[in-house]
Amino acid sequence: MKIEVQIISKEDIKPSSPTPPHLKTFKFSLLDQFIPSPYAPIILFYPNDCMTLAEIPKRLALLKRSLSETLTRFYPLAGKIKDDLSIECNDDGAYFVEAQVNCRLDEFLTKPDLLLLHRFLPCELMKELTAVTYLTNIQVNVFDCGGIAIGICISHKMLDGAALSTFLRAWSATARGCEEVIYPNFAAPSLFPANDLWLRDTSMVMWGSLFKKGKCITKRFVFDASAIAALKVVATSSKIKCPTPPTRVEAVSAFIWKCIMAASKEKHGYQTRRPCVLTHLVNLRRRMTPPLSDNCTGNLLWMAAAKCMTPDKPELHDLVGELKDAISKLDGEFVKKLSSDEGNSLMCESLKQIGELCSKDEVDHVGFSSWCNFGFYEIDFGRGKPVWVSSYGLSGSPVMNLVILVETRYGDGIEAWMTLDEQDMSNLECSSEYIKFASMDPSPLTFIGHSASSS
């Protein structure tokens, strides 16, 4: 059966109250220039909890009304980008789309087609932000059974993953009628003020160096609780013990890094030594002194970079150690320097080093971004929590090796959304070491966890 997504309506959802005149201009922080991608797309899938089809219009009206109220507090998200330094908070509103899907939700989730997921999203993902682009874009997709998929594209210049979680928690709490109202913290522009666009220009050069010729494909792999526990054991089995055991994100990231290097080596020939750089986006909020609130909006991120320069037979514990060392460098002292007078030169030098190394044809790169511990599976608009939280699939060229790590439904496993060169992906799927720990694209309906983990 061919799945069709039919657009039923489009409208602008404006804030429930006008933005005061003194808040009409919102300045971006310096770190908001770091991430070049226009949007941070995410899709939340909700089963029908005995709601009749006649009740769906009321449900949609509630989502719109609560979104309008939430935008009053998150007022920059209802504006337009004036230039790369600020937002005009003109209350134009969010772009809201209603769509109908010609199948049941459980039919789609039995074997989801990753390359169809973009149809549940309200905007062109690769489209550049312009002065007329909406910062907030929502698409509510209603399946024949009454199940719903909420596709969200919010400007990455305004929200990183943690800030997106804050917005979704605020919106869903408003929809449920919670007495405790969640407010954003807009402290980032004062902590990291931006007066020009040097970081945007420097980071664009660095990000450009990460793209390679070829064709990419996205596949989804799941590491369940037992696989993660086994990887942690392997990572700590060396006589040289790590000071602290790896987290689940560190263990899975290092293992994927190891297997991607093996896949690349198979493609280029086993006699070829190809250094590989791993980058991991790191949330800086709790690394600051004092720590920032989780409700602090913006892009409070920086990039940890680890290198494996002699990848003959790298051991997992060595790679975990390299990753831990890279992340540990982004400590409170480092973040303090970022916001000081020497911050500009520190950021510039860091990005140039990564760009110069990754621009070499003989050097591979894999980038990681973790959505774990952001609470996306706790987002409840009043009819229950999502059964699946998804990214989306890519195919085509050029190639940038990218891995997005997402918690499984019950928090004890990790989904790895991996976009790789097609041949590297094929080699990875044939790796006995890799498939020993990773399950390829199990149905979100059948893959369940048993106990939550915060490690």
Active site residues: 156, 380
Tokens, residue 382:
């009043």
Measured CA distances, 31 to 67, 196, 210, 426 (Å): 27, 12, 19, 36
User: 361-392 burial, b for 16+ CB within 10 Å, e for fewer?
Assistant: eebbbbbbbbbbbbbbbebebbbebbbbbbbb
Sheet of 25-27: strands edge to edge? 25-27, 86-88, 80-83
Tokens, residue 449:
């966890």
Residue 141 neighbours by CB distance under 10 Å? 26
d(C-alpha 394, C-alpha 372), whole Å: 21
Dihedral of CA 309/311/312/318: which sign?
positive
d(C-alpha 100, C-alpha 143), whole Å: 6
Angle of helix 161-176 versus helix 56-73 axis, rounded to 10: 120
Q: Residue 245 CA to chain centroid, in angstroms? A: 25
d(C-alpha 71, C-alpha 18), whole Å: 10
d(C-alpha 263, C-alpha 43), whole Å: 30
As to burial, measured by CB atoms within 10 angstroms (0-12 exposed, 13-18 middle, 19+ buried), residue 454 is exposed
| SS3 of residue 187 by DSSP | coil
Measured CA distances, 390 to 117, 195, 275, 315 (Å): 8, 36, 31, 31
d(C-alpha 190, C-alpha 30), whole Å: 10
What DSSP state is assigned to residue 93?
A: -
Angle of helix 225-235 versus helix 316-328 axis, rounded to 10: 90
Tokens, residue 399:
């190639």
d(C-alpha 163, C-alpha 52), whole Å: 34
What is the rounded radius of gyration, in angstroms, for the C-alpha atoms of the chain? 22
